Amino acid sequence: MSQDRNINRRQFLKRATVTAASVTGFPYFVRSSALGKAGSVAASNRIVMGCIGVGGQGTANMNAFMRNSDVQVVAVCDVERERNVYYKGATFGRKPAKQKVESFYAKLKESGTYKGCAVYDDFRELLARDDIDVVSVCTPDHWHALISVAAAKAGMDIYCEKPLANTIAESKAIRDAVKRYGRVLQTGSHERSNDSVRFACELVRNGRIGRLHTIHINMPSSDPHHQEILRLVGKTFPEMPIPDGFDYKMWLGHTPWEPYTERRCHFWWRFILSYGGGEMTDRGAHIIDLAQLGNDTDDSGPVELVAQGERPAKGLYNTFMKYKFECKYANGVRMIGQSSGTRGLKFEGTDGWIFVHIHGGRLEAEPKSLLNEAIGPNELHLGRSPGHHRDFLNAVKTRQDPVAPVEVGHRTATICHLLNISMLTERRLKWDPQREQIINDPEANRMLSRPMRSPWRL
């Protein structure tokens, strides 16, 4: 970025801080475009968005946001220019993303109301723009924190994919930045927006299954991509030339330097602990998240955890593929998990049970009549979501919490990472949800964070 642009950006952020300090009880900073000022379209008509990370899930999120008539995507950012990846026959990267956006808005462009989609390979350039209200962050997990914290500081609201971050310390940094700068963040735990899931949790929290005592979690590693990883257990891969148009140094970011090989990046990173947490943080960020909702512990977590697992002793992929675990909550509820069974979770009470299938939210119950129950007007209602992406956009306008706000995403990610830490240390962990520290285990406590390679830091 040029020196003049840096100065302008600093002035912009300074003005944001002054605005926050002068208005009691109002969010720290809401961009003028979101309020309909400075000649821009009012919030009821337009939210200007930039998309950071436009691989498979990032492109899916981008498409979902564009389908909302009050959203206009004006910028995309990715370290990859263009590449065919894991998803058969699909091409992702900043170039095809730009083409998708401009094709979608072709009619608007012809009428002169759409000025085109800018392309960036460095997220800092996108965040330096003053006309963007919200960003979608859909990078590998190890990049979530640095980008989301920077976006919050820049006065932008954030849709960040799950898990919220790749360490507990990074997740806390996102949570703290979002709260400090008065931003809205929706975690991409989209199962929370499923009507049947919310109904199941209402049944549990209104006592329809009696006293909840156990939550069973099934997270099998049985999909084709899991089988591919299991086939490659223990294997190493030769160094390869970095593809043209791929900023591999930026992709690595703050993680330790490693030679490029195709199998390190592009979807497969989630099975390498430097960049992801395996199935424990991948589907765990969906399933354990719903356990938190049904247990009414969205702002807390277990007080004791133990997990055992198996992972490759050598080779590129080093996350746990087989595991079992148990968490104990202060309210007496136990959460018991395993890497087998039908994917989903079972709420078990003194008078019955409810099983929630992941994905899709199909319900089973005993007694079956539970599923025909109606939640009374004086009982707890969790509300319904208009859809995870739409819910975020509504929250941007109202300045209210979405269905998966930053605290929820942070607490769920914390449990997933604690279970991985328990497996890595082979120890039972006692956790203080208020202080957010592991009790009487300095070695395990140090694993709540990881050092960042220069020049990156939170």
Give me the CATH number covering residue 418: 3.30.360.10
Residue 445 has pLDDT above 60, yes or no: yes
Is-contact 33 134, C-beta < 8 A? no
Mean per-residue pLDDT over the chain, rounded:
90
* pLDDT, mean of residues 135-163: 98
Mean pLDDT of 236-263: 96
Number of domain units in the chain = 2
Q: Are residues 357 and 225 in the same domain?
A: yes
Distance CA 400, CA 160 (A): 17
Both 171 and 199 in one domain: the answer is no
User: How many alpha carbons lie under 13 Å from residue 188 in its C-beta half-sphere?
Assistant: 25
pLDDT at 414 over 90: yes
Same domain, 10 and 108: yes
Structural domain including 436 reads 194-375+405-446
Q: Which of 191, 223, 252 is the last residue of a domain?
A: 191
**Residue 339 maps to a domain:** yes
What is d(CA 258, CA 449) in angstroms, rounded to the nearest whole number? 20
Distance CA 61, CA 97 (A): 11
Element (H, E) at 305: strand 304-310
Query: For residue 84, what pLDDT is reported?
Result: 72
For residues 417 and 430, membership in a common domain is answered with yes
Q: Name the nearest CA neighbour of 434 among 247, 291, 302, 268.
A: 302
Residue 336 has pLDDT above 60, yes or no: yes
Q: Are residues 133 and 203 in the same domain?
A: no
| pLDDT for residue 6 | 39
- The answer to the question of residue 99 being in a domain is yes
The amino acid that residue 398 corresponds to is T
pLDDT at position 28 over 90? no
Task: Give pairs for 450-455: CB < 8 Å, separation 24+.
Answer: 450/167, 450/169, 452/254, 453/252, 453/253, 453/254, 453/255, 453/256, 453/257
Helices (H), 71-132: 94-104, 106-110, 123-127
Write phi, then psi, for 382 (nearest 5 degrees): -90, -5
3-class DSSP assignment, residue 170 = helix
Q: Are 216 and 51 within 8 A, CB to CB?
A: no
**Which tokens belong to 381?**
């209602």
The answer as to whether 139 is a domain residue is: yes
Which residue in the block uniquely carries the two structure tokens 């998966």? 404
Domain membership of residue 43 (yes or no) is yes
CA separation for the pair 421, 33 (Å, rounded): 43
208 and 166 within one domain: no
The overall longest dimension of the chain from CA atoms, in Å, is: 67
Residue ending a domain, choose from 173, 191, 209:
191
Same domain? For 159 and 40 the reply is yes
